[in-house]
Amino acid sequence: METHTHERSSGYGEEIACVLGLLFLVAAAVVEKVSGISWWTHGLFTGAYVFAGYEGLKSAIASLRKRVIDIDGLMVLAAVGAAIVGAPFEGALLLFLFSFSNVLQHYAMDRTHNAIQSLLKLRPDQALVKRNGGTVLVKVEELELGETVIVKPGEQIPVDGKLVEGDTFVNESSLTGESMPVAKTVGSDVFAGTINQSGGVEIQVKKRSEDSALARMVKLVAAAQAEKSGTQRFLESAEQYYAIGVILFTLGVFLVPWLFFGKECSESFYQAMTVMVVASPCALIISTPATVLSAIGGAARIGILIKGGSHLDSAATIDIVALDKTGTLTAGKPSLTEIILPSGMQSLSGPLDVDAQAILRAAAALEARSEHPLARAVVDAAQRLQLSVPEATAFQSVTGHGAEATVESTHYLIGSERWFRESAAQGFDVLAVQAQTLQAKGHSCVWLGARDGERLLAKAVLVMADTIRPEAKILTQQLHRLGVKKVVMLTGDHQQVANAIGAEIGIDEIRAGLLPENKLDIIRELKKEGRVMMIGDGVNDAPALATSDLGVAMGAAGTDVAMETADIVLMGDRLENIPILLKHARRARRVLLENLIFSASVIVTLVVAALGFSLPLPIGVIGHEGSTVLVCLNGLRLLMIGRSRL
């Protein structure tokens, strides 16, 4: 049985040969029924043998040149044997069903490849680019780094790049599997193959078309499908020995009854040919690639890139999940969480009173001119609350301290605690008590004040922290529900910060204050307790990702290092894909086990029937090839991967 590891010949030659083989077979059967055996029937059966057996014979000869006996050779031998004992119809039927099952297998395997290759069709062939003071339509492959591409609403984005003009929402489902549109503003990364849904935008080209996340995704899946699982490698290595064993067993079934028990030569030979047919492990050999390739293809369609069958095997047997904190369990960037006023502290998770809103408006006006992450957190918070931010005038940056400017006739200062302490700001001590408590927990604080003549008044403290991602809070529950024994958080943060985050998420074990080499040591330690999956950003976690039993990179739609280091890449920055991955891998393992048990059971049943119950060759042929098609179709179910509740 030819597996999908070989390149399929171009065109539809195999399908045409199969159809012609069927036509000759039907014609021969009709002529034989009407006029009996004649040179017409012999000619028509010969045509059926030639067309239906062409691909199998070609593959068998290619294997013999490599001094390998495979299943294709067994099928050809069985068909020739059937003709010798006067059963040309059964031999031709065997070759036709064998050829037809190969066509179906190729169709099934091609579906797994096409599911990914079709993504490249999502990328447009041409792009509208700014050149020489105007715009020109060019092929995507001709775009140069740094050029500016114009994308209108409803159009597909042609390249990976950065938004330099306009705001929009982008449908990234082709890349990440996430159906909800993603908001994009100036500075946001965008990716080829995604769809610009709302505003017209301009994009600066950051990567050539062949280096885009979409192109790399297709290359990665193609490489993954070429890598075989341990089960597939074992079955393929055992195929030759099994084939030789079947041939020797067939000779025994033919010679022993004939020579020692007085059975008719033709009857013994017919039984031997039947045994050769039903004992061939076609379904057994094809069951693994049919299952593994479908599972890899199905996962890739929602943005889970599994780099090979061996990694799919590993994902099905994970005992411990270790997660990096920053960028994985948390957003990876600061967000404004509280505002400390002389009257008390207000959280941004609830409504802000008038005084807190006024403070945030003033702070956002000053920080609007800065690209510092803490400044962006303040501006983002004001935008999120839909506050009108006034314009700051007479803006002046104070090196090492912060900045000051006039906002709505009031002169404000924003900057570090040290600046306010050294300036002996009025009201400093009241705010500092609460600020120091939060700073001890790892929060960052920015101070806001106003000048009243020569006096500096400390008006508020803006508190920033790396916030927990909402989906992280149910991740641990989902992993435990799937049978994961322990969830471990690894972080370089202070122990107090890590404890607070771990307690809120429900982490089983917290390791804090770690350097990359410390994470590596902990992974080695955890591996003594079971099989470990490490999840990180693929850059500073690279050593731990490489050492774990299974390394998973989060949100790597534009990260080359993550693509290269991890065994599995989650194209979308979505924690909920982690339990989906484990569930999918375990489902694939169950389907593979079903296929292997079913295939082996059919072989045993048919062999017993052929030896003890004179199984007719046509029934053996149908049972053998039918089981091959069934395991293929069963494996194809894995192309559909659901997001059902875990």
Q: Which of 324, 493, 537, 549 is catalytic?
A: 324
Specify whether 189 is catalytic: no
Spatial separation of the C-alpha atoms in residues 102 and 628, rounded to whole Å? 9
Nearest residue to 165 via CA among 127, 203, 128: 203
Cβ–Cβ under 8 Å, residues 617 and 273: yes
State the residue for tokens 């769809």: 195
- The single-letter DSSP state of residue 156 is B
C-alpha distance from residue 68 to each of 62, 229, 275, 284 (Å): 9, 22, 21, 18
Cβ–Cβ under 8 Å, residues 572 and 279: no
Nearest residue to 275 via CA among 65, 407, 81: 81
Q: Which residues of 372-385 are buried (b: 16+ CB within 10 A; e: fewer)?
A: eebbbbbbbbbeeb
- Bridge partners (DSSP) of residue 458 are 449
C-alpha distance from residue 293 to each of 109, 180, 581 (Å): 7, 28, 15
Cβ–Cβ under 8 Å, residues 463 and 445: yes
Spatial separation of the C-alpha atoms in residues 295 and 75, rounded to whole Å? 29
Instruction: Kindly state the helix (H) or strand (E) to which residue 302 belongs, with its residue range.
Output: none
Strand 195-196 to strand 168-171: parallel, antiparallel, or no bridges (unpaired)?
A: antiparallel
φ, ψ for residue 19 (rounded to 5)? Answer: -65, -45
Q: What angle do CA 628, 632, 638 make, to 5 degrees?
A: 155
Cβ–Cβ under 8 Å, residues 283 and 496: no
Spatial separation of the C-alpha atoms in residues 283 and 101, rounded to whole Å? 10
Quick one: three-class SS letters along 336-397? EEEEEECCEEEECCCCCCHHHHHHHHHHHHHHCCCCCHHHHHHHHHHHHCCCCCCCEEEEEE
Cβ–Cβ under 8 Å, residues 116 and 214: no
> What single-letter amino acid sits at 158?
P
Query: What are the structure tokens assigned to 448, written together?
Result: 């806001």
Spatial separation of the C-alpha atoms in residues 575 and 537, rounded to whole Å? 12
Query: What are the structure tokens assigned to 27, written together?
Result: 């014609």
Spatial separation of the C-alpha atoms in residues 451 and 426, rounded to whole Å? 10
Spatial separation of the C-alpha atoms in residues 304 and 112, rounded to whole Å? 14
Residue 194 CA, chain-centre distance (Å), reads: 17
Cβ–Cβ under 8 Å, residues 545 and 536: yes
Please count the helices (runs of H) and the strands (runs of E) in the chain.
21, 23
Spatial separation of the C-alpha atoms in residues 552 and 541, rounded to whole Å? 10
* Residue numbers annotated as active site: 324
